[in-house]
A and B are shown apart, each in its own frame.
Chain A
Amino acid sequence: MNTYTIQLMLKNNIPDVTGKALEQDAKRYFNINTGKVRASKVFTILSDRPVKEIFDFAEQTLKDAILHDIYMDKLYMEKTFEKHLYMAKLPGVTDDEGVSAQKTYADYFNIHLESGEQFIFTGEYYYIEKSLSDDDLQTLGNDLLGNPLINHIEYGKLKSKIDYVPTVLIKSDIRIDKIEIDLGDDELIELSKNMLLSLDLKEMQTIKDHFLSAETKAIRKELGMSEIPTDCELEVLGQTWSEHCKHKEFNALINYKDLDTGEEKKIDSLFKTYIYNSTKVIHERFKKGGNDWILKVFNDNAGVVKIDDDSVFIWKVETHNSPSALDPYGGALTGIVGVNRDPMGTGVGGGKCLFNTNVLCFGSPYYNGELLEGQLHPRRIMSGVIKGIEDGGNKSGIPTINGSIVFDDRFRGKPLVYCGTAAVMPMYYNGKPSWEKPIDAGDRIVMAGGRIGKDGIHGATFSSLEIDEHSPRSAVQIGSPITQKNMSDFMEKAAKMGLLKSSTDNGAGGLSSSIGELAEIPGGAVVELDKAPLKYHGLQPWEIFISESQERMSFVVEPDKKSVLFAMAKDFEVELTDIGYFTNSGYLDIRYKDERAAYLDLDFLHNAVPKKYMDAEWKAPKLEEPGIVDADHNDILLKLMGSLNICSKDPVIRVFDHEVKGKTIVKPLMGEDGNAPQDAGIIRIDHKDYTGVAVSNGILPRYGDIDAYEMSAGSFDEAIRQIIAVGGQLPNPNKADGIFWTLNDNFCVPDSLYHEEKNPDGKYKLAQLVRMNEALYDMATYFNIPLTSGKDSMKNDFKKGNVKISVPPTILYSMVAKIDDVRKTLTSDFKEAGDVIYQVGKTYNELGGSECYALFDVLGANVPKVRKEDAKRIYDKMAKANKQELIASAHDMSDGGLAVALAESAFGGKKGCSIDISKTEIGALAELFSESHSRFVVTVSPDKANKFEALFQDDCNRLGKVNDEDEMHVIIDGKDVIQTKVRDLHEAWSNGLRK
């Protein structure tokens, strides 16, 4: 085997944007003057072919004749450069570009590649003009270009040759270990810790008792198995009983005390009490009213609702916070392609992804406080996450039609990365319901997609001390959107041809989770681990079973369909492997060659996890209003427009493709110049007709500092009113209109389990979580909006030594509503001079937790409250007014209140406005900046104003008119409170993220 290197060097006349970017970013972020930088790409090729063939291959396929010169087995040298920086991948880290080069190698030589082993690796070699110190070069490598968790980084004087080859070599005996479990309590805890099982004493005791029981012993003896469990069995239990999979805290028995009222209650499972029950109540109402579009909730990868008689809508939103804190790019990328697989793997599978939506919570990119060891700067987290979502969404051909970014420095330790994906699936495949997941004993288990490596085994807890330079990295993973795109194209066709009986995603927990859960349906499974395709040799059986290697699905296939399915997979270049079959034995039976790696009672595996008990104590925080006097309203507005939570997200939005598939109707930015921010996104289902859906996200973490109940209720309202703003109408159980609304809840909270030293305010945090759930129940059942999927992430704390950075308790409500005719929807920008401007809904003195108060660095006490009855009446009127085509523009009021909504609508439509609020009971500051819920800025053509006012009555207030001036002028109580150029507001808004 020969090792060749090929370097692609840009010709001198070609602009080097990669080199230039390094020059600029080094200066901007680290104040390092690199001088001129040139970037080049290096391919390391392991091949038996002679040098001439490899040279011709590189010359004809890797090189772009217009752009490059190539250098083989030696690097280009230029005396003007002093130093180099070389960035490659660590062994076992996904190198998609290398894989693509291998595909072109196979095409060029007309050979077929059988093995999954990598033989072409890529890297970037930078030439740096200035003689930078090793420290500076290391900073650029570690903190700007790469991440030591995934990158091999070299630097120093110029090199003549690259020697590094990231092949994976593992020296290990493949074997199944037996683990002694008849241990005392301390030893059980020790065992859990040593094996990274994350199980507590009670859970370990339950496992011990199970294996020591006479019944288990007898069964194992009969099979010739050891009495004590195998490593694989404990790993499967650790994975299945993890918080991630069993939601132990959301199912805990909680003792809740309200210290203010003395009220005390027991809550047996937050999930059952609030989430499951609210949906059940709502579903009953729709069934009774004859408007039953809910097909499936809570018992599959994602919920399913009915669009029409031909198709169903499936969607899921979840988080990928911890991986994104470690490696922002890889974490977000696997987050987005991971959530794609949820709707793809719901029911029979094969749904076609319709849109993505992302909500991101970061610390300020301008943060200049200290960083803990291992903590990345918020700016770096932000840029990495955005790049990950860009690659994950764009390369999969799924439009990102809506999203939101929330800044709060408490997200600087762990960012929140919410990724959501919706898909559309035919309602029936060959007359069989697509959303059902039938599995019978005898059906084959077929694994599809990527191969298995050590990726994601025990996630971040894997210590870097235990690995040498040829060990594959397991802590972080990089997704491969193209591998998955091939697979999703394949699944769509295979499902339509009736070749798939059911499918599911191999996500967290890998095969252990996916097969372990599917096995519950027929009541058993046999998995032959030695058949599973590996990326490289040396994986232990238990590692194969729990690996989280990406881009994998598991299919349930009837034996007689196997050969057609496998032949079709060849066309799509998707690797399929038959790894076993389903049974009704009642056991999860895992084999490696002739040996049993695990034989676990399914009932024990899924139902024996002991219940958790937790304590919650609520005491309302003592807060007061700051009493701001003599405020300069012009100055406040200008500052608000440029503040992080309000300013334009244009630089982020535009790197996401929001209109691939040609069906997006309301994009994040609209209007003549693309400057008008919108409330909800709207997309058509198909090019054939104008049926569509609106999607929105409600998230208001800062209100939780005052009251978690109002924070949760307000976030819920925000999600509804965004959809109302674009022309949606509320669901109605008593009218068979087929208008579905579906909701995903996503809780992200700090550790809420009380501990005297480690978590002294755990009871308060848990009380906050309870209150968030109470609001969820109240809002969902009031508005009849069911939760069709959801997720909870319970430990969002970044710890180092004694320091802990915890996220504020946060809930994201992601909503989708069916839109009958997307042509009848609304945008936020002012349309024509002369249009009458109304405020719909009432403003209260509710500046508590507002962006305005944040400017003064105060919290306040008057948190915005949701008045459900008012909200519902207003939303019904909005839908009615839209049906009568009375509305020219509508924009929901949220961060920054009325003043910000007016400014955005004005510059969105390249217009101005003059406003006169003749009488105020709450003062100008609150009129302008209070963030009271359920309000809109609406414009109406003058000839429709009377009709509009007759419909809204007291629910609207005529504020003024749109004009063609470059001015926003607001008079309150006869005084000029705002008089400013719209252009200046727009400029401040545009530059918030560009400082």
Chain B
Amino acid sequence: MVKALVVTGFGINCEEEMAAAYRLLGAEATILHLNELFQERDSIHNYDILNFPGGFSFGDDIGSAKVLANKFKFKKMRSGKLFIDEITQFLNDGKYIIGVCNGFQALVKMGLLPNIGGTYEQEVTLTNNASGKFEDRWVHCSITPENPTPFLNDPEIKGMDLPVRHGEGKLIIRDEEIRNMILEKKLNVMTYTDKNGEPTAEYPANPNGSELNCAGLCDVSGQVFGLMPHPEAYLSLYNHPDWAGKKRANPDISEDGEGLAVFKNIIKKIGNK
């Protein structure tokens, strides 16, 4: 059985729905306080996929997920190891990491995404929305065809509706070189679009003014995937703001939410190994 580890603590708050995604699909999900990992009572190596859920770790102080990313980079675990080295080992073992919203911000700020240079040097950041405020609204996202991440590796799915709930989701890329590499390697795997599926820079369809209208990134290997919208918040049809309209238009519509596909894909990938 596929084993997912969902970390929590310090203000992370989407662990419940993240775990629910795996459980609904028949996988095993364990929710663990990060300090239990730092105390080495359990290890990420006992799992197939590591989940960094959304939330407000440390209240977004100093910059969203900054304090959390610092912890991963600098705080020594019980035996003196660094968490970031554990992650390197985890990825070398061919395993997978997903970060949503605050989790995505943490992955970016600890240099795991997009990590084109392979040295965990920060290459992009996520900062204040162009609107200057936190917003909860649903957006349309397209999925980049032939992208490298197994989380989105389903040619049937061209896009999905998802909610965004953040104040700091605007992607800023360090320089032209990184930008070109992201495009070349198709690492910008998810894009904000208008209703017709066309990428857009226009608010509110693009809720934060991200460069490349980018909603989600993966690393070069495709093993690490991060996104601002919340796939774990659309596990059921009834999460969608227009569920009643959709049901009226199609009484036989599936009760699964579109976000479930992300987890289905990765469970399938791990199961096939």
Contacts and interface: CB of A to CB of B under 8 A. Distances in A.
Interface of A: 14-15, 17-18, 20-21, 60-62, 64-67, 96-97, 99-101, 103-104, 107-108, 110, 390-391, 394-397, 480-482, 485-486, 489, 571-573, 653-665, 667, 669-672, 674, 684, 687, 690, 822-823, 826-827, 829, 831-832, 888-889, 909
B144 interface: no
A396 B13 contact: yes
A842 B9 CA distance: 53
Nearest to B108: A66
Interface of B: 8-14, 16-17, 20, 23-24, 33, 35-36, 39, 54-56, 58-63, 66-67, 70-71, 73-76, 109, 121-125, 127-130, 132-138, 163, 165, 172, 174, 230, 232-236, 238-239, 241-245, 248-249, 255
B261 to A, nearest CB: 15
B24 to A, nearest CB: 7
Given A662-B232, A662-B233, A104 B172 contact: no
A802 B242 CA distance: 54
Contacts of A391: 59
A53 to B, nearest CB: 13
Given A67-B63, A662-B17, A669-B241, 5 more contacts: A66-B127, A480-B59, A481-B11, A654-B137, A662-B235
30 contacts: A14-B127, A17-B128, A17-B132, A61-B66, A61-B70, A67-B63, A100-B62, A101-B67, A107-B74, A108-B74, A110-B75, A397-B55, A481-B59, A489-B9, A654-B137, A655-B133, A655-B134, A659-B136, A660-B233, A662-B14, A662-B16, A662-B232, A662-B233, A662-B236, A662-B239, A670-B244, A672-B245, A674-B241, A831-B248, A889-B244
A727 to B, nearest CB: 10
A660 B241 contact: no
Contacts of B54: 660
Contacts of B76: 110
Given A17-B128, A61-B74, A672-B245, A573 B122 contact: no
A460 to B, nearest CB: 26
A888 B249 CA distance: 11
A656 B62 contact: no
Nearest to B66: A64
Given A100-B58, A104-B62, A662-B233, A397 B13 contact: yes
A664 B239 contact: yes
A659 B134 contact: no
A674 B238 contact: no
Of A108, A394, A481, most B-chain CB atoms within 10 Å: A394
A667 B240 CA distance: 10
A61 B163 CA distance: 30
Contacts, number: 200
B132 A20 contact: yes
B142 to A, nearest CB: 18
Contacts of A690: 238
Contacts of B248: 831-832, 888
B35 A572 contact: yes
A272 to B, nearest CB: 41
Closest 9 CB pairs of A and B: A397-B13, A662-B17, A100-B61, A687-B20, A66-B125, A107-B75, A97-B61, A17-B132, A395-B56
B20 A662 contact: yes
A663 B20 CA distance: 11
A101 B61 contact: yes
B165 A104 contact: no
Of B70, B75, B122, B236, most A-chain CB atoms within 10 Å: B70
Contacts of B241: 667, 669-672, 674
B245 A829 contact: yes
Given A107-B74, A659-B239, A96 B61 contact: yes
B33 A831 contact: no
B244 A827 contact: yes
Contacts of A486: 9-11
B227 to A, nearest CB: 15
A66 B124 contact: yes
A670 to B, nearest CB: 5
Nearest to B170: A15
A656 B135 CA distance: 7
B19 to A, nearest CB: 9
Contacts of B66: 61-62, 64, 104
B10 A110 contact: no
A108 B70 contact: yes
A108 B243 CA distance: 47
A571 B236 CA distance: 34
Given A107-B74, A662-B20, A66 B174 contact: yes
A96 B56 CA distance: 13
A386 B173 CA distance: 32
Contact of B13 (A110, A658, A660): A660
B257 to A, nearest CB: 9
A665 B243 CA distance: 9
A65 B122 contact: yes
A316 to B, nearest CB: 21
Contact of B35 (A62, A103, A573): A573
Contact of A397 (B20, B56, B122, B243): B56
Contacts of A14: 127, 172
A108 B241 CA distance: 43
B86 to A, nearest CB: 15
Contacts of B138: 674
Contact of A67 (B13, B125, B238): B125
A674 B61 CA distance: 31
A843 B119 CA distance: 71
B11 A395 contact: yes
A664 B234 CA distance: 10
A572 B241 CA distance: 35
A659 B163 contact: yes
B244 A826 contact: yes
B124 A671 contact: no
B154 to A, nearest CB: 21
A44 to B, nearest CB: 14
A687 B70 contact: no
B61 A390 contact: no
Contact of B8 (A489, A660, A670, A909): A489
Given A17-B128, A100-B61, A826-B244, A66 B134 contact: no
A672 to B, nearest CB: 5
B135 A654 contact: yes
B83 to A, nearest CB: 10
Contacts of B55: 397
Nearest to A682: B238
Nearest to B60: A395
Contact of B70 (A104, A667, A831): A104
A670 B242 contact: yes
B114 to A, nearest CB: 13
Contacts of B172: 14, 66-67
A14 B172 CA distance: 8
A481 B56 CA distance: 10
Contacts of A18: 128, 132
Of A18, A571, A888, most B-chain CB atoms within 10 Å: A571
A6 to B, nearest CB: 11
Contacts of A67: 63, 125, 127, 172
Nearest to A13: B172
A676 B8 CA distance: 35
Contacts of B230: 662
Nearest to B39: A571
Given A96-B61, A97-B61, A100-B59, A665 B124 contact: no
Contacts of B236: 662, 687
Contact of B130 (A15, A66, A485): A15
A571 B136 CA distance: 32
A485 B17 contact: no
B130 A661 contact: no
B121 to A, nearest CB: 8
B59 A97 contact: yes
B255 to A, nearest CB: 8
